[in-house]
Structure 1
Amino acid sequence: MPAHDQTTDAPGSRDVADAIREAIARGDFAPNQRLVEADLSDQFGASRSGVRAALFELTNEGLVERVQHRGARVRAVTLDEAIEISEVRMAVEGLCAAKAAELVTDGEIAELRSLGDSMRAAVAQGHVLEYSELNKTLHQRIVDISGQATAAGVLRRLRAQNVRHQFQLALVPGRPNVSLAEHLAIIDEICAHAPEAAERAARRHLVSVINALKAA
């Protein structure tokens, strides 16, 4: 029986890069964790060459770094870098919030309101990890509604780099309550079709994130 030819149906390097990027964003791979090509090939059902190309792409994005004689590992983002990333996010997510306010449909308004209700319930019940996941979902839906494909790509990379610091912030006592009010304000302005106010609300939220990072 002929050997299985992995190259004919294995994911392409771009698909593998997306999968590894998402795994880093979820925290499946910790900062400084080694990324072994053979292990990644097995985990994602990809060819070694596809994994190698994906790691090269992620290195260029700043998510992965090459260490001499030790291969690839998840790059640890410093606090200063996390603040810089949040400053860039402030500009880009402000744009997305404004565009979302212009384009949001009645169905999407209902969805955003429902997300806000779920976030409120998660904070009230002290479910920090659930709130953190809903937080990510809300940010992603705002970008989706905005229709800003370029911004979506930029933010996907930035969030993956910043995932460790975002997770640590979520665990700071009292932070979810502050964050909740900021997110509900963004939802309100988008649902009111108020682009300028939505942008200001999004920027206020990221200023709050930056201040919290500095105080952490």
Structure 2
Amino acid sequence: MARTNAAAPEDAYERLRSQIVTGTLMPNERLVEIDLADRLGVGRAAIRTFLTRLEQEGLVVREPNRGARVRMVTEAEAIEITQTRMMLEALVAREAATRATRDEVAEMRAILAEMEQRLNAGELLLYSDGNARLHAVILRASRHATAARLISSLKAQTVRFQYRTVLVPGRPRHSYAEHTAIVDAIDAGDADAAEAAMRTHLSHVTTTLRESHAQQ
């Protein structure tokens, strides 16, 4: 039975979005309205609204007479998206350097320490999860709502590429050093250094994605 509380439609939307972002619903998988309505416990009108929102986010493609499907992001698109993120996240790092609280910096340091532990243990997928959490804390510390909204949309389109770079031999150690430089600059309140460190980090991510694509 569908839930009737006011939060139900938004909860259902977030569940559907999460299933796409995490890969539970695979790229190019068809999204059948009646099946989604039954699974999420909402009406088909709500599902149509959800699909419109997801299309606007670049997560869904809708085609006349063929319905909706999960959008397939190509490797070339993933590279372009990461280049765009580099510009936005450099701004975010700059803002975080002047706005982060001591508690937020301490949280970044704690995540860095956990990332180092995961790296030393060879737990690369868990290291990558820590990477994502660190970027989220930096984003929150920037207090930049517009950048946060845009970055969230961009990252959602490339989650399936998240683990690819961390599995490239030698890349995790470089990644850890780059993240440390970002946090050090934020901790020091050095906006120029924080911006430069984030640009360096994501430019290396872009290069790694490009090289991985070329090898494939």
Name 1:208's counterpart in structure 2: 204
TM norm structure 1: 0.89
How many residue pairs match? The answer is 212
SS of corresponding position for 1:66: strand
TM norm structure 2: 0.89
Alpha-carbon distance in structure 1 between the residues aligned to 2:174 and 2:34: 43
Task: Kindly indicate whether residue 92 of structure 2 is the aligned counterpart of residue 112 of structure 1.
Answer: no
Name 1:90's counterpart in structure 2: 86
**Aligned partner letter, 2:103:** G
Task: Kindly indicate whether residue 176 of structure 2 is the aligned counterpart of residue 188 of structure 1.
Answer: no
Matches within 5 A, 1:57-96: 57-96=53-92
Name 2:45's counterpart in structure 1: 49
Alpha-carbon distance in structure 1 between the residues aligned to 2:179 and 2:194: 10
SS of corresponding position for 2:189: coil
Matches within 5 A, 1:161-172: 161-172=157-168
Alpha-carbon distance in structure 2 between the residues aligned to 1:74 and 1:5: 24
Name 1:39's counterpart in structure 2: 35
Task: Kindly indicate whether residue 97 of structure 2 is the aligned counterpart of residue 101 of structure 1.
Answer: yes
Alpha-carbon distance in structure 1 between the residues aligned to 2:117 and 2:3: 46
Alpha-carbon distance in structure 2 between the residues aligned to 1:164 and 1:75: 12
Greater CA drift, 53-62 or 201-210: 53-62
SS of corresponding position for 2:69: strand
Change (3 A) 1:90 1:157: same
Greater CA drift, 14-23 or 177-186: 14-23
**Quick check: 2:28–2:69 contact (8 Å CA) kept in 1?**
yes
**Quick check: 1:7–1:47 contact (8 Å CA) kept in 2?**
no
Q: Which blocks of at least 5 consecutive residues in structure 2 are unaligned? A: none
Name 1:155's counterpart in structure 2: 151
**Quick check: 1:94–1:199 contact (8 Å CA) kept in 2?**
yes
**Quick check: 1:170–1:176 contact (8 Å CA) kept in 2?**
yes
**Residue 149 (structure 1) shift:** 0.9
Name 2:128's counterpart in structure 1: 132
**Quick check: 1:17–1:55 contact (8 Å CA) kept in 2?**
no
**Residue 75 (structure 1) shift:** 0.7
**Residue 5 (structure 1) shift:** 6.6
**Residue 6 (structure 1) shift:** 4.9
Name 1:27's counterpart in structure 2: 23
Residue identity over aligned pairs, in percent, reads 44
Change (3 A) 1:133 1:39: farther
Alpha-carbon distance in structure 2 between the residues aligned to 1:5 and 1:209: 43
Greater CA drift, 46-55 or 148-157: 46-55
Name 1:177's counterpart in structure 2: 173
Deviations 1:186-210 (A, max 9, x none): 1111111111100111111110011
**Quick check: 2:22–2:160 contact (8 Å CA) kept in 1?**
no
**Quick check: 2:96–2:186 contact (8 Å CA) kept in 1?**
yes
Name 2:8's counterpart in structure 1: 11
Q: Which blocks of at least 5 consecutive residues in structure 1 are unaligned? A: none
